[in-house]
C-alpha cells in the first residue's frame, strides 16, 4: 500500500481473505446446525423408545420407523456438512467430458 492506494495484488489478497473468512463462517454455522440436529434426533428418539418401553407389550418396536426415517435425513445433512467438495482433477475431468 503506497500513499493510501492498494495494488491489485493487495486487493486480491484482501478479497481472498474476506472470501475465505465468509466460507469459514458458513462452514462453522453448518457444523453447529448439524450438531443441534443430531442432539434433537438423539433426544426425541430416546423419548420415543422410552414411551415404547413403558407402554408396549413388546410386540412391535414402532420407534424404528421414525428412527430410520429421520436417520436418512440426518445422514444427508451430515453429507452436506462433512462431505468433500470435488477436487481440481475431478473438475477438469468433468469439464473435458462436457466439451
Average pLDDT, the chain: 87
Give the start-to-end residue ranges of the domains of the chain: 8-98
Q: What pLDDT, on the 0 to 100 scale, is given for residue 4?
A: 55
Q: Which residues of the chain have pLDDT under 50?
A: none
Place of cell 466460507: 23
CA distance 11 to 22: 16
- Cα separation of 80 and 27, whole Å? 10
80/46 Cα distance (integer angstroms):
25
Amino acid at each position: 500500500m503506497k500513499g493510501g492506494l492498494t495494488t491489485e495484488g493487495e486487493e486480491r489478497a484482501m478479497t481472498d481473505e474476506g472470501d475465505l473468512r465468509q466460507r469459514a463462517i458458513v462452514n462453522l454455522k453448518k457444523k453447529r446446525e448439524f450438531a443441534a440436529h443430531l442432539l434433537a434426533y438423539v433426544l426425541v428418539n430416546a423419548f420415543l423408545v422410552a414411551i415404547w418401553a413403558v407402554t408396549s407389550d413388546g410386540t412391535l418396536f414402532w420407534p424404528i420407523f421414525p428412527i430410520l426415517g429421520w436417520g436418512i435425513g440426518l445422514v444427508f445433512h451430515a453429507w452436506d456438512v462433512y462431505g468433500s467438495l470435488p477436487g481440481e482433477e475431478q473438475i477438469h475431468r468433468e469439464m473435458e467430458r462436457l466439451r
